[in-house]
Amino acid sequence: MRISLKEIIKADLYRYEGAKTKKQMLKAYLTEAGANYMVWFRIAQRYNNIFTKFILKRKMYKYGIEIFPQTQIDKGFYIGHFGTIVVNPLAKIGKNCNISHGVTIGASQRGEKSGAPTIGDNVFIGPGAKIFGDIKIGDNVAIGANAVVIKDVPSGSLVGGIPAKIISDEGSSGYINHLS
């Protein structure tokens, strides 16, 4: 079942301060760069025309966020702080994920991990984290600041370091607010 554009935008905007009313959602759209970007991302993804792609491209330059309409992102996506965010168009991101500034979710072009990451539901990705290759990030995972993730991460893990290693089994509990 395909979710309506209105419902997916509402789910994204809800993640910002638990906005439920139209007034709160409009405030989030007008004051939060991540919310503003995601509204246009969703519109460009749904309508796929030159006008929406043009607006999204302008938002990319304005906010330093490079997420293309081809990227599969489930509802409730939250961009905590904008700036230098790059997501490969082949990446898949689950629902209620948080992404911070300086994050790269990229593809590897060689070896057994050639491809782009698949990220589960309720995942927190800390500032400066880098996630590369055809790897699977499980549900309820927290990825620490500046971590470099190049291997699969099981659900419920907290990872950090270069290369990232499992630090604990506390996962993303406490990092993800206002689940949609």
Within-domain flag for 65: yes
Q: List the catalytic residue out of 81, 101, 136, 178.
A: 81
**28-37, 44-53, 107-116, 165-174: segment of lowest average pLDDT:** 107-116
Interval 118-134 mean pLDDT: 97
pLDDT band at 1 (very low <50, low <70, confident <90, very high): low
Within-domain flag for 178: no
pLDDT band at 122 (very low <50, low <70, confident <90, very high): very high
Asked whether residue 180 carries a pLDDT value surpassing 80, the answer given is no
Within-domain flag for 177: no
| Residue 125: Cβ within 10 Å count | 30
Interval 14-26 mean pLDDT: 88
**65-69, 106-110, 158-162: segment of lowest average pLDDT:** 106-110
Number of domains in the chain: 1
Range of the domain at 70: 5-168
**Does residue 101 carry a catalytic annotation?**
no
Asked whether residue 19 carries a pLDDT value surpassing 70, the answer given is yes
Interval 160-176 mean pLDDT: 92
Interval 5-23 mean pLDDT: 90
Distance between CA atoms of residues 21 and 96, nearest Å: 19
CATH at residue 55: 2.160.10.10
Within-domain flag for 138: yes
**17-26, 69-78, 117-126, 162-171: segment of lowest average pLDDT:** 17-26
